[in-house]
Structure 1
Amino acid sequence: MSDFLEWAYENRRQIGLDILAGSFSGMCNILSSHPMDTIKVRMQMSHDGIIKTITSIMKNEGIFSFYKGMLFPFISVPILQATVFSNHEFWKRFFVGDSKQSLTCYQNMIAGGLSGLAASFISCPVELAKCRLQMQVQNVNKMWKNPVDCMIQIARKEGISYLYRGMNVTCQREILGYAALFVVYDVVKDALISVKKQKEASNLDMLISGGLGGIACWTIGYPQDIIKTILQCDTGIGKTRKYKPHFLDGGFYSCLVEQVGKNGWRCLFKGYSVCIFRAFYANAIGFYAFETAKKYLNR
């Protein structure tokens, strides 16, 4: 353990640079993707298609409603991305040191999964506030003024522990999703470098690899994201809570059974088309921003 801590201390400068690069990636990610995320959440909580959802938001709430709940993610997503990327780089150096050797798929899955686990503790309360604000129709039974007010009210009325409603399923989504994200990103990037017989990835290679990694990430984690959204938008307290927790599942099992029983397995992919479109360009931009920032900071 002492050797591990000593090794981490010796690499503290690089860890700091990875955090900065990850933060920059998060800012680029949230600015480019939040409107599509709002559409995705609305579709997950209704039976409307993408056109009807967009039209309804535009007609009833205005164009700026696509950015509902963005303030808190704009602050927190850079922290989240910094956590993810710095953790992945940390475990990458743990496995291969300072060599330029690539991680094996197995090592990459472990590094990505551990990064996702760390991210869960940030993303769960952040997405709870974001989802509730996104579902709030402007000036109609308005309960929360902003993300901070939303979290304060949830803590007061429902309990501090309720800020982590959906934590179990969030961990499932993040561990599986980030494991797939980093594996696919590296596999595609290495394949493009090999096919083109280049020494390193071009800008286009990074964009394509990041986009396909994002698709893999959200495809494997999308059913969990559906259940997470439903659980987090359930405002019931105690006995009025619609989905009762069983042991450590936080209501995941009861919600999954009810949704599939009523609506079939397809309900677990409502809003998937919007999510995949968002996942491609958001992660393409995110990886490109991270790699560019890392290269600049390491000069």
Structure 2
Amino acid sequence: MAEFSLWLQENRRQISIDLAAGTVSGIFNCLFGHPMDTLKVRMQMSKENFWRSIIKIIKHEGILAFYKGMTFPLLSVPFLNAIVFAVYEYSRRQFTGYNENGKPMTYFQTAICGGISGSCAATLACSIDLTKCRLQMQIDNAHKIYKNPFDCLWKIAKQEGFRYIFRGMNATQQREILGYSAQFATYEFVRDQLMWLQDKGEPSSHDLLISGGLAGMACWVVGYPQDTIKTILQCEMGTTQRRFKPKFLDGGFIECLKYRIKSDGVPSLWRGFSACMLRAFYANAIGFYAYEISKDQIQKFYA
């Protein structure tokens, strides 16, 4: 305990900077990315294409329907993002400390750090995604099952069982570990290459935006099929209607994957991918840019 207190005291300043910058990044990412996330979920749960889904939502529910289920993510995603960046930066410092002669990290080590941060984030992300998906799928405004995110969690726990607020955890862990590994490795690689090509010591705003956007796309390329399975599992309602029985610790992942491929084919795992890629680029470009700028400003404030 004494060792932990000493470590915390020595690293408190840097951790607080990472947490604050990560929070700012999460706010911007959520505000700009949620409409496309709603579209992604709708497409994953139907057979409609990008434009047809947009027109249907606007025609039957109005433009504000794209922001359904955003309350809980807006309250929780900044905190979640803060954890992701803080754990990632801490993991990086550990690798850097162990490297001999101050050698820079390899991109493989960067991916490992991203995977560690993703695993930590998944525990919170699972329940956040569950409420978001259930609310996003409430198409009929006149007959809503859930009033708000907290009512959603309460009803799921009461009607389906407390353990079901963690429905889709296995799929979430897979998505977050693979996704964040690819995201941070891509971000560092692209940023380094852009700086090298332009022979600059510091990345420009342009470099940060491009690196962040491509990093977000890489994240979802490797994690999208898992996200589709997670969405299906989480949108199942009622204990008597569950088709996908958990085996070992997979949470129904294998059964759901087999069912989706058998009924709709492998391409169905990528429904909504176009909306996701659009969101991934601009939301993460803004998110990473906000992180780097806010981190720099906070460090100057502390100095």
Superposition TM-score tier, normalisation by shorter sequence: over 0.9
Which stretch of structure 1 is more off in the superposition, 88-97 or 174-183? 88-97
Q: Within 2, Cα distance between the matches of 1:211 and 1:8?
A: 33
**CA offsets, 1:5-58, max 9 Å, x none?**
744441111101110000000000011010000000000000001111111111
Residue of structure 1 in register with 2:267 after alignment:
266
SS of 2:248's equivalent in the other structure is coil
> Which letter does structure 1 place at the counterpart of 2:14?
Q
Maintained 8 Å contact 2:169/2:251: yes
RMSD: 1.7
> Which letter does structure 2 place at the counterpart of 1:26?
G
Query: How has the CA–CA distance of structure 1 residues 98 and 261 changed in structure 2, closer, same or farther, with 3 Å as cutoff?
Result: closer
SS of 1:11's equivalent in the other structure is helix
Residue of structure 1 in register with 2:94 after alignment:
94
Superposed displacement of residue 138, structure 1? 3.3
Q: Within 2, Cα distance between the matches of 1:139 and 1:28?
A: 27
Residue of structure 1 in register with 2:85 after alignment:
85
Q: TM-score, normalised by structure 1?
A: 0.96
**CA offsets, 1:57-84, max 9 Å, x none?**
1111111111000000000110111010
Superposed displacement of residue 139, structure 1? 2.5
166, 169, 191: which one aligns with 1:167: 169
Q: Identity rate of aligned residues, in percent?
A: 52
Query: How has the CA–CA distance of structure 1 residues 220 and 2 changed in structure 2, closer, same or farther, with 3 Å as cutoff?
Result: farther
SS of 1:247's equivalent in the other structure is coil
Maintained 8 Å contact 1:236/1:242: no
Residue of structure 2 in register with 1:72 after alignment:
72
Residue of structure 2 in register with 1:184 after alignment:
186
Maintained 8 Å contact 2:18/2:85: yes
Q: Within 2, Cα distance between the matches of 1:101 and 1:26?
A: 31
SS of 2:143's equivalent in the other structure is coil
User: Unpaired segments of 5 or more residues in structure 1?
Assistant: none
Q: Within 2, Cα distance between the matches of 1:191 and 1:202?
A: 12
Q: Are 1:285 and 2:276 an aligned pair?
A: no
Maintained 8 Å contact 1:116/1:174: yes
> Which letter does structure 2 place at the counterpart of 1:234?
E
Q: Within 2, Cα distance between the matches of 1:53 and 1:220?
A: 24
Q: Are 1:241 and 2:242 an aligned pair?
A: yes
> Which letter does structure 1 place at the counterpart of 2:78?
P
Residue of structure 1 in register with 2:149 after alignment:
147
Q: Within 2, Cα distance between the matches of 1:173 and 1:165?
A: 14
Superposed displacement of residue 106, structure 1? 2.0
100, 113, 116: which one aligns with 2:118: 116
Maintained 8 Å contact 2:159/2:238: no
Q: Within 2, Cα distance between the matches of 1:101 and 1:292?
A: 26
Superposed displacement of residue 107, structure 1? 1.4
Maintained 8 Å contact 2:184/2:215: yes
Superposed displacement of residue 265, structure 1? 0.8
Q: Within 1, Cα distance between the matches of 2:73 and 2:131?
A: 9
Q: Within 1, Cα distance between the matches of 2:193 and 2:2?
A: 38
Superposed displacement of residue 236, structure 1? 2.9
**CA offsets, 1:231-261, max 9 Å, x none?**
0001131x53121111100000000001001
Q: TM-score, normalised by structure 2?
A: 0.95
